[in-house]
Structure 1
Amino acid sequence: MTSVDARLCALRPEWPPAGYRCRSATTADVDALHHLVAAYERALHGRPTTGADQLAAELPLSGPRPESDTLLVHDDGGRLVGYCWVKGRRARVLVDPGHQRLGLGSGLLDWAETRARQAGSDRLALTVSDADHAAIALLRAGGYSRLVTEWLLEMALPHEPEVPDPPAGISVRPFRHGDEQAAYQLTENAFDEWQPRRKTYAEWAPLSVERATFLPAASPVAFAGDQMVGAVLSLDVPGHGEGYVERVAVRRDQRDRGIARTLLREAFRAFHRRGRAACTLWTHSGTGALSLYERLGMTVRRSSTVYCRALVTD
């Protein structure tokens, strides 16, 4: 029994159920995790959408004690069938659809809550696909309530999109080496309105500009003089046939001028020229940006909900 087994079994002596074992994650598990997530997304949505590099960036595998923040569940055959990670107030719990309703999800959720309390968090939030009815039922039974809705939007690219001229006084060019710090400051400033805390550059970069799939050619940035005032950061995930916009940000004093529209159209055009059939991005109800994307011609492909609950300390 590993240390993570011992911590959870002290909380729930019957866990894990017979026929399963658990341990913490390492970087060597990324491929198996990707296979599990792809199978989960295929079962729920008809196709996988999460890249291996995204999983690697999300997992809390750095720092002095990565074993404290991840938990994997394997069946007797050694196949990965569930996992959980915790980062501050956020967690991710996923169980293979063929292994649900056996207590794996509730055990992982208990572990996540306990780990978050140990780390000093006063609440925990999880994002769940609106098609995952089993996970929604589990969270509701555990006292979680809806926080925000997230939408995956898509833009079909059968023809090369027209790109409007930038507003007066604004210049636009593709992202290039040396833009990283300015893009970090711009996007974190923009997301201060909705995110609970700012990421450090070391946290932000692996999720964006340091990812293997980051595509500078489809990541236009806007300048007013020598100041970056807008950015679209895009990824080109192999095997998907689609482009993906990871971040859209415009400096507050430059909003409502059409900068975001110009940058997004530039990104769409770049993906069309690379032969991509569509481009997708996520937004959530806290940003108020859904109507902007719909005016551009984007449509909702599917949705998720962020559920949250306060953690009562013992």
Structure 2
Amino acid sequence: MPSPEPPLVPPLPPPGHRTRPATLADVPAIHRLVALCEEDLHGHASTGADRIAADLTVPGLEPASDTVLVHDDGGEAVGWGWVRGRRATVQVHPRHRGRGLGAWLLAWVEARARERGGDRLAQTLADSDHAAVSLLVSRGYSRLVTEWLLHIATPVEPEVPRPPAGVTVRAFRPGDEQAAYRLTEDAFDEWQQRRKSYAEWAGHTVGRTTFAPAASPVAFAGDEMVGAVLSLDVPGGEEGYVERVAVRRDQRGRGIARVLLLEAFRAFQRQGRPGCTLWTHSDTGALSLYEHIGMTVRRSSTVYSRTLGAR
């Protein structure tokens, strides 16, 4: 017998908690919450405040109706959630878990998705977050794709091979934004569910305060961009981070991605960051490429999805 659907408007949160929509003024408080969750799960925080700001300003999300921020009686932010299209995020302060707050937030994002006319919802969870995984599975979510965080240590400057014939490589420059947008979105169209607008794409890449142009090499065949690695310089960490990797379809198999990645690793190493990380997932088919250049899996996450059903 299928589990009953929750009401369209979730009941009040657990006692001792109050809620309101999130705003840009809440970015520091949400960042502290997210950092505490990451430290609890992984031993260190990796998400920058600019990523929180990008999530709150992504086109199509209305913070007043698509976000919820939960405070305890002392005024501390202890949970939050947002929903946009078929994607949602829910996070709960480690000290406030086991009180029903996660279940309430899950009901809230599902209800909001239905109000927006959505028929399916997906969330990404770290595989080590066993309680959250159990909650989603109990609500009918199933595994969609696997994601891996890969890492490479560069205690010494890596050797970068020559680009293939007819290809030149240089660091990202002002004016490269539109070409990089078209290149990466064309490449990601092969597996992503929808094409991002330029504003949304820039908000998560070149428009972030942590964007690192010196560690973002781009490749050209003639005057056409055919490859790009876009990197972030996340504050407080010892590693660089690669946000996007893309090579134009007709230029693949020539070693361009390898050259660009090693250029990025070398740039970070010269800046005093003797290591680099990036995420990939099973739909891209790129895991073997990263392993071939010496990257190893540090941890994994899973995207869970469920059909919401008509209301």
Q: Contact 1:268–1:279 (CA<8 Å) still a contact in 2? A: yes
Counterpart pick for 2:219 among 222, 237, 252: 222
Distance (whole Å) between structure 1 residues aligned to residue 130 and residue 261 of structure 2: 33
Any gaps of 5 or more consecutive residues in structure 2? 1-5
Residue 305 and residue 291 in structure 1: after superposition, are their counterparts in 2 closer, same or farther (change >3 A)?
A: same
Within the candidate set 86, 94, 99, 1:102 is matched to 99
Per the alignment, in what secondary structure is the counterpart of residue 73 of structure 1? strand
The residue type paired with residue 54 of structure 1 is R
Partners of 2:20 and 2:59 lie apart in 1 by 17
CA deviation profile, 1:94-119 (whole Å, cap 9, x unmatched): 01121112111111111111111222
Identical-pair percentage: 68
Whole-angstrom distance in 1 between the partners of 2:154 and 2:34: 27
CA contact (8 A) 2:56 2:63 kept: no
Tell me how far 1:58 sits from its aligned partner.
1.5
Deviation, 1:36, is 0.6
Determine if the alignment matches structure 1 residue 133 to structure 2 residue 134. no
Q: What is the TM-score of this pair, normalised by structure 1?
A: 0.95
State which of 80, 87, 90 in structure 2 corresponds to 1:90: 87
What CA distance in whole angstroms lies between the structure 2 residues aligned with 1:99 and 1:244? 30
> Which ranges in structure 1 are unaligned for 5 or more consecutive residues?
1-7
Specify the alignment match of 1:280 in structure 2: 277
Q: In 1, are the aligned partners of 2:17 and 2:71 still within 8 Å (CA)?
A: yes
Residue aligning to 1:252: 249
Counterpart AA for 1:12: P
Q: Deviations over 1:273-294 (max 9, x none)?
A: 0000210000001111111101
1:4 alignment partner in structure 2: none
Q: Decide whether the 8 Å contact of 2:141 with 2:305 is kept in 1.
A: yes
Aligned-residue offset at 1:148? 0.5
Find out whether 1:47 has 2:33 as its counterpart: no
**Structure 1 residue 200 and structure 2 residue 206: aligned?**
no
Counterpart in the other structure of 1:11: 9
> Are the counterparts in 1 of residues 82 and 109 from structure 2 also a CA contact under 8 Å?
yes
User: Which of residues 65, 76, 81 is equivalent to 1:79?
Assistant: 76
Alignment of 1:239 onto 2:236: yes
Q: Label 1:62 to 1:293 Cα distance change in 2 as closer, same or farther (>3 A).
A: closer
Select 1:29's aligned residue among 17, 26, 30: 26
TM-score (norm: length of structure 2): 0.95
Aligned length: 306
Shift of 1:129: 0.5
Cα displacement (A) at 1:65: 3.9
Does the aligned pair in 2 maintain the 1:218–1:234 contact within 8 Å? yes
* 1:301 positional shift: 0.9
Hey, what's the Cα distance between the residues in 1 that align with 2:294 and 2:201?
Answer: 29
Q: Does 1:302 align with 2:299?
A: yes
SS at match of 1:11: coil
Equivalent residue of 1:31, what SS?
helix
RMSD: 1.5
